Amino acid sequence: MRVIDKKSIAVLPFVNLSNDINNVYFCDGLTEEIINALASIKVLLVTSRTSSFYFKNKKVTSKEIREKLKVATFIEGSVRTSKNKMRITVQMIDALDDFHFWSETFDRNPENIFEIQDEISLFIAEKLREHIGHLEIEDKLVEAIDVPVAIYREYLKGRYYMMRLDYKNSIKGVNILKEVIHKSPNFSNPYLDINLAYVNMGTMGLLPALEAYEKAQPYLLKALELDPNSSRSQLNLAWIECWQNWNLKKAYEHANKALEMQQTDDIYLTISNFLTVEGKLDAASNYLDKALQLDPYAAINHHYKGFLYYLKEDYKTAIPYLKKALDLDPKLPFPPIYIGICLLMSGKPNEALTYFGSLEGVSVKDLTKLGGETMCYAMLNETEKCNEGLKELETYSNTDLVDKAFTFLILVNALLDNNEKVIDLITQAYNNRLPVILLLNPSPILKPVKNHKRFKDIMLKAIPDNLNYKQKKKYKQALLDSNEIKKYSKELEQIMIDYKLYLNPDLSLKDLASYLELPANYVSQLLNLGFQKNFSEYVNTYRISEFKERVLLEENKGLTLMAVAYDSGFNSKTVFNTFFKKIEGITPNTYLKSNS
């Protein structure tokens, strides 16, 4: 069971206590703004919107929040409005010990909407710091937007409908947001939200993908023109660089910039996507775990966890995650593809055929049923039915479903051992710049062609840093050069901050290496040259810092020094005392007395 980080928090949706439906939009908007504001505070783990809003209009106990969201603290509140007055009540609850340790009522003018958001976010951050320990908090967490309050309220209304994610409400939200743009053309948020609405509709099969992405593109470009430096803009740029421009180096740059601004699950998921493209599946899993920690009720996070297990050929473990994704969002189009393929690759072609045959709705429209059944016929040696399926799939190769059609054509031919045909199809997909190319690299079904020269050439052109084909060249007998040491040192420090690996008393050099996707001997060299420390010195330095922070907390005053040391990652009294004196020059007891 994962230990709950004391610097973790969830903001539950604020409750509307007014009769006015328009106040619902404000309540949701206020909740989102507080989540975004708190997410900008370094080292604070903030549950993402999807998981917070999972509990909207549900009565839940402190224990349920602690167990389901794995947070130490949560916020709940309510909003009541009248003509000239708004009353916002906010409470902060310690989920670990189940008590309300702070509540406040804000009576404010509804017109001061941006000041209210910033004031409440800062107040929460300050009270949180008093309760859990030091946090670096900026003077402002929510920047005022240069639009009239009435238009901002309309924006919140549009976003409210857009985030309901079905076709009817998405279109309604888009139309409201277009009207907001007409009134305030320099307001960047509605452009980003319209872009997101179309991308979501294309991804979920509510619109043809090509049509949806074409509609989304101009809104994204305008948003980037107006505000290129927000975390959302940087994240969108990362997606463009990867999936449209096939430039992973720039994609990582934008994604890491976004991560520096905010630690959100969609940024961690995005980086996991990029690592998957390169074939770095262990590192992708690590980043995906972080996304799941921040948003355990996001269907796409569970789907991707299952997808990574599929790529690792652990089909039995993959299926429950894929089914959990469908439980959370039955309209998500991706999980059915891989549930069926996992059954197929587990040696259960008849069970897979039954599963694909039972699919309805979105899955029919996006070729999952047709493609899945054709794959099953290939495995069952039902040649006539397989050829019929291939012919029908080929009819979609010049339509909006071209990417999905090529995916299944490639996979079916791979199962039939038509390796030359597979390479021909991959060449066509590459020449047409189909995004499917980027997900062929780690596919277990394509293992028979991965050593084919033409396949290697295409993969290296599409993904220059391809792990499968460049790793041996990359790690020569020569030592890491100075640029690599600088790059990996920065990555390692960020990983230690994000994941707090040092709290694991059994942490090994090999464990550390898996997060960097480097051989253990290279990480050993990196520690020596980049930090002038061996593995034990490096990790125990973090543990000493953790101990120094924990031992001074009011909540730990009843614990012995060694109890705090064990909580900080040490598993030996001798090692703890030796390292503490070596680093601090005094004993732990002397340190405590001098700082009490």
- Per residue in 3-39, pLDDT (tens digit) is 688 888 999 999 998 887 778 888 888 898 889 888 8
- Per residue in 436-476, pLDDT (tens digit) is 888 888 899 998 898 888 898 888 888 875 545 444 434 34
Question: Which amino acid belongs to residue 381?
Answer: N
Residue 414: is it exposed, middle or buried by C-beta count within 10 angstroms (0-12/13-18/19+)?
buried
Q: How far apart are CA 157 and CA 3, in angstroms?
A: 38
Q: How far apart are CA 190 and CA 574, in angstroms?
A: 59
Angle in degrees, CA 476, 479, 480, rounded to 5: 95
Asked whether 480 and 525 are in contact (CB, 8 A), the reply is yes
Q: What does the domain layout of the chain look like in residue ranges?
A: 8-132, 149-227, 248-474, 482-595
Question: Is there a common fold for 149-227 and 248-474?
Answer: yes
Q: Give the pLDDT confidence score for residue 472 in this predicted structure.
A: 41
Helix orientation angle between 209-226 and 231-239, rounded to the nearest 10 degrees:
140
Q: What pTM was computed for the model?
A: 0.72
Q: Is the pLDDT of residue 516 over 90?
A: no
Q: How far apart are CA 89 and CA 80, in angstroms?
A: 9
CATH class of 8-132: alpha beta
Q: Give the pLDDT confidence score for residue 312 in this predicted structure.
A: 93
CA dihedral angle for residue 94, residue 37, residue 236, residue 254, rounded to 10 degrees: -90
Average pLDDT over residues 281-288: 87
- Per residue in 328-359, pLDDT (tens digit) is 888 788 899 999 999 999 999 999 999 999 98
Asked whether 261 and 231 are in contact (CB, 8 A), the reply is yes
Average pLDDT over residues 303-309: 96
Q: Give the pLDDT confidence score for residue 473 in this predicted structure.
A: 39
Q: Is the pLDDT of residue 43 over 80?
A: no
**What architecture (CATH level 2) is domain 149-227?**
Alpha Horseshoe (1.25)
Q: Are strands 86-94 and 99-108 parallel, antiparallel or unpaired?
A: antiparallel
Q: Is the pLDDT of residue 2 over 60?
A: no
CATH fold, domain 482-595, is: Arc Repressor Mutant, subunit A (1.10.10)
Q: Give the pLDDT confidence score for residue 534 in this predicted structure.
A: 87
Helix runs in 248-357, H state only: 248-261, 265-277, 281-294, 299-311, 315-328, 334-345, 349-357
Q: What CATH number does the domain located at 248-474 have? A: 1.25.40.10
Q: Which helix (H) or strand (E) holds 100?
A: strand 99-108
Asked whether 212 and 198 are in contact (CB, 8 A), the reply is yes
Q: Give the residue with greater pLDDT, 71 vs 20.
A: 71
